[in-house]
Structure formats: C-alpha cells, structure tokens
Amino acid sequence: MSERIDRAIAKSILAAEGAAIGGAIGGPVGATVGAVGGLIIGDETTVFPLDMIAIPAYQAYLLSGTPALQVYIRAGETLVPTGGNVEDVQEVLEAVVEAPKRKRRSKNPWILFNKNFKFRPKRKNESSQQYLRLRTKAARAAYNKKKRGGK
C-alpha cells in the first residue's frame, strides 16, 4: 500500500513542478499544460524522440540565462519514474539489462541443400517452368538419396 502512496506523491510533485514551469513560461494556460504533462510523465517511461537539454525545474526562469546545471539528453534515451528510490530502481534496471540471448533458428536443411545443388543449364527449347520442375524433381531425388545414406 505504501508503494502506491509514494507513487502518488511523486506524481503530484511532478505535476506541481510542471505547473510551476508552465506558469512561468505561458501563464495560466501553461500551468495547466505543465500540470497535465507532469501527471503523464510521472507515471510511465518516456523515450525522448530528439536531442534535448534539461535544466533544474527551480531555474526555469533562466531559460534565456545560464542555469547552474544542464543535462544533455540524446534521442532514444529513456526516462524512468523512480518514485524517489533511485538506488532500488538502478538495481532493478541492472537485472533487466542482463536478458538472455535469443537462440538462433536452425537452418532448413532442404534450403541449404538446394542452394548448393548443381543442375544442368536450361536448354533453349525448354520453358523456365519446365526447367524448374525438372530441377526440383532431380534435387528432391538427390536429397532423399542423401538422407537415406545412398540407398
């Protein structure tokens, strides 16, 4: 139960920060948009679609000046909500990163055999369909003979 309360508190703090930033930039409308944005961002992971520069929320009025801290965020990086427990989230993320490798699919033996199968060139008076039919028939016979061990 306390986890849900912590999440709700963190979400409301993000909404308040978003409202403060939006209010400083765009007045009452900006505050509303910032609060809604804070509620949305505070609950789910966010992938940044383009490069961004982040500054501390309390220095939002310094958009034209120089803030104390600037963080460069590359496109494709992910923002994960922590709820205030950064150490716990880092441990969980480290465990998630070590995902098992996918097994490779074994290659189809018929396709491998067919790629290396040598057959005579197509004759002039022979249609392509007829040539391919004869080639497939010969390849099938050779493949079955190979599978049975030459019997």
Is the pLDDT score of 114 beyond 60?
yes
Assess if residue 141 is contained within a domain.
yes
User: Are 81 and 33 in the same domain?
Assistant: yes
Token pair for residue 58? 């309390």
pLDDT in tens, 29-86: 555 555 545 545 555 667 777 777 777 766 666 666 777 777 777 777 777 666 666 6
Reference 55, options 25, 97, 12; nearest CA is: 25
User: Are 91 and 142 in the same domain?
Assistant: no
Contact by Cβ (8 Å): 119, 137: no
Token pair for residue 27? 């007045």
User: Are 45 and 88 in the same domain?
Assistant: yes
User: Are 142 and 73 in the same domain?
Assistant: no
Q: Give the three-class secondary structure for 137.
A: helix
Assess if residue 104 is contained within a domain.
no
Q: Report which residue type is found at 15.
A: A
pTM reported for the whole predicted model: 0.34
User: Are 63 and 137 in the same domain?
Assistant: no
Which residue would you say has higher pLDDT here, 20 or 101? 101
Reference 9, options 33, 34, 50, 43; nearest CA is: 43
Contact by Cβ (8 Å): 35, 18: yes
How many domains are there within the chain? 2
- The span from the CA of 36 to the CA of 101, in Å, is 39
To the nearest 10 degrees (0 to 180), the angle between helices 109-116 and 128-148 is 120
User: Are 74 and 134 in the same domain?
Assistant: no
